[in-house]
Structure 1
Amino acid sequence: MRAHPVDRPADLDVVRESYDRVADNYARMVMTTGVGDIVKHPWLKASIDAFADTVDGLGPVLDAGCGPGTVTAYLAGRGLEVSGVDLSARMIDHARRLHPHCRFRVASATDLDLDLGEASVGGVLGWWSLFGLPRDVLPQVLAVFARALKPGGHFITATHVGDEDAVRTEAYGGVPVRWTSYPWRPEQLIALIEQAGLRTVAELRLPAEEYSGPGVVVMARRPG
């Protein structure tokens, strides 16, 4: 049984082009400053380690919105059968260059209903990537993830906390972009995850830091 197709955001191609433009600067920043390196952030590392321990042995793991593949590679180093997908072909170019031992491909989170069979994966990550999905689209994507998880499989997400949509016109060194970020209140995000059919097992709230506002990490399980 297939999931219902996910609505395609009207500006998806514009967003894809924007991430392609910033990919070089972002990958360089990751390599030179450690941005996105969970090893440098003990609470984020603890969250990913808990996820890795929980899904170990349950089958394939999908990193949805993997960017240049930092977390994908970390999980592969933990021995997981993990692959990464990203909307931006240029991000995937960098992921393959930086982590040639890992598997990556170009795909939008809104296209995964075509690829993921029911109960086909042991774990799914949406690690600082799902805030780019419009508010009416995120619940559909969460439903695809929930359906794709095996019973007992886990989903983990990290995202920005807030009430107001943020329209960006430049990013990562002044590169012109056009995208909107959609932050969520933790209780709103948890409600969406549970409406998708998952059961929340952990929540970590993060205070604002020098380069970002407050955030939240949520891990949830498919019952069964």
Structure 2
Amino acid sequence: MTADLDATRTAYDLVAADYADLLRDELAEKPLERAMLAAFAEQVERSGGGPVADLGCGPGRIAAHLAGLGVDVRGLDLSAGMVDVARAEHPGIPFEVGAMAELPYADGALAGALAWYSIIHTPQEGQPALFAEFARVVRPGGRLLLAFQVSERADEDVVHLTRAYGHDIDLRTRRQHPARVRERLRAAGFTPTAELLREPEAPEKSRQAFLLSIRDAT
């Protein structure tokens, strides 16, 4: 796990500025993604509102979109390079460096959390503990939104990237089987409530999944 974290941090520190430039306006062309984010924001508000954390926030583009929807959002990322970009581009939103597996939030402190293509860097054996950490910080009745690339395989589906965003890197991402993600969420204390699967759009090579859940009462 430590080697995975170090490799992920190193890769994203390297590509942070170019990653931000490439994806800055991507949501403008993604109506289904915006719809899921809007549903998440509305459900957080209807559940009483409160702080929301963008976990694995990268350069802060999703956090900024949520802030524009009226969400009280903050961001956390493993990469200091990504956090530097996020702070520079979105100075009104608090961002900090940290690991999703050890979140710097008190029990039940969040009204919601989202991990937008960030669980893809956690090996399958580490995901139960990761989802348990999400459950620790999201209050009962709070919402969790996950986005990830879809795997059709039952075993781990690893993609090894050696070139991305104009840089040579060493980064492993993991496509996820939606049924397995739902099972692990339930085991951690979440109930999935909505799921959107869409077909790939170039240059994507797999279907994309967006999974919304509610934190169970304890």
Report if TM-score (shorter chain) is over 0.5: yes
Aligned twin of 1:134 = 123
Of 164, 176, 187, which residue of structure 2 is paired with 1:184?
Answer: 176
CA distance in 1, matches of 2:101, 2:171: 16
Give the AA of the match of 2:3.
A
Post-superposition shift, 1:107?
1.0
Please list, as runs of the form range in 1=range in 2, the aligned pairs for 1:11-50 lying within 5 A after superposition: 11-31=4-24, 34-35=25-26, 37=27, 39-50=28-39
The runs of 5 or more residues in structure 1 that have no matched partner are 1-7
TM-score by length of 1: 0.90
TM-score by length of 2: 0.92
Give the AA of the match of 1:121.
L
Displacement over 2 Å in runs of 4+: 8-11
Establish whether residue 206 from structure 1 lines up as the match of residue 198 from structure 2: yes
CA distance in 2, matches of 1:30, 1:189: 26
Greater shift in the superposed pair: 43-52 or 102-111 = 102-111
Contact map agreement 1:58 1:121 (CA 8 A) in 2 = no
CA distance in 2, matches of 1:78, 1:184: 28
Give the AA of the match of 1:195.
A
Please list, as runs of the form range in 1=range in 2, the aligned pairs for 1:74-85 lying within 5 A after superposition: 74-85=65-76
Contact map agreement 1:9 1:137 (CA 8 A) in 2 = no
Alignment size in residue pairs: 210
Of 36, 49, 52, which residue of structure 2 is paired with 1:61?
Answer: 52
CA distance in 2, matches of 1:9, 1:138: 14
Establish whether residue 100 from structure 1 lines up as the match of residue 91 from structure 2: yes
Post-superposition shift, 1:118?
1.5
Post-superposition shift, 1:40?
2.3
CA distance in 2, matches of 1:210, 1:87: 28
CA distance in 1, matches of 2:36, 2:56: 17
Post-superposition shift, 1:58?
2.8
Give the AA of the match of 2:165.
Y
Greater shift in the superposed pair: 187-196 or 46-55 = 187-196
Contact map agreement 2:102 2:133 (CA 8 A) in 1 = no
CA distance in 2, matches of 1:161, 1:129: 13
Q: 1:191 to 1:199 in 2, by over 3 A?
A: same
Q: Percent identity?
A: 35
Match of 2:2, SS state, is coil
Match of 1:165, SS state, is strand
Contact map agreement 2:55 2:113 (CA 8 A) in 1 = yes
Post-superposition shift, 1:15?
1.8
Q: For the aligned residues, what is the CA RMSD?
A: 1.3
CA distance in 2, matches of 1:14, 1:131: 13
Match of 1:116, SS state, is coil
The runs of 5 or more residues in structure 2 that have no matched partner are none
